Amino acid sequence: MPAKLSPSSSPSPEAGEGIRSVRSTHLFKIVNFELYVKPNLAVMGIGLTCLGLSTAYLAYLRATDAGGDTYVAIADDGTQCRRTKGSGWD
């Protein structure tokens, strides 16, 4: 006669475990790694800082652009200089 599992023999999920308490395959756990790892505040802080700095840098580049009507040209002596775009009619 097969033994019946009593509710006390199976581990009951604790509060705050979320999806970690659900039975799933190893492939699902590998593909969705972020669902099974506890949050790491240090890594999150570094990531948010990098994201904020890169966003600020892109905003700075956009703000310092002279309206989009300039381009970098190479002079005859090989140096780079910024010139304004001109019309073909000028």
| pTM for the whole structure | 0.46
Question: What pairs with residue 74 in β-bridges?
Answer: 80
Q: Residue 55 sits in which domain range?
A: 40-83
Q: Give the model confidence (pLDDT) of 2-58 as tens digits.
A: 555 555 555 676 666 666 667 778 888 888 887 777 888 998 999 999 999 999 999
Amino acid in the structure at residue 2: P
80-84 and 70-74: which strand pairing?
antiparallel
Query: Does residue 53 lie in a domain region?
Result: yes
Contact 81, 73 (CB under 8 A): yes
Number of domains in the chain: 1
Q: Of 48, 28, 50, nearest to 40 (Cα)?
A: 48
Q: E strands of 1-90, at which residues? A: 70-74, 80-84
- pLDDT at residue number 53: 98
Query: Does residue 79 lie in a domain region?
Result: yes
Backbone angles phi, psi at 80, to 5 degrees: -95, 140
| Residue 29 DSSP class | H
Query: Does residue 19 lie in a domain region?
Result: no
Query: Does residue 46 lie in a domain region?
Result: yes
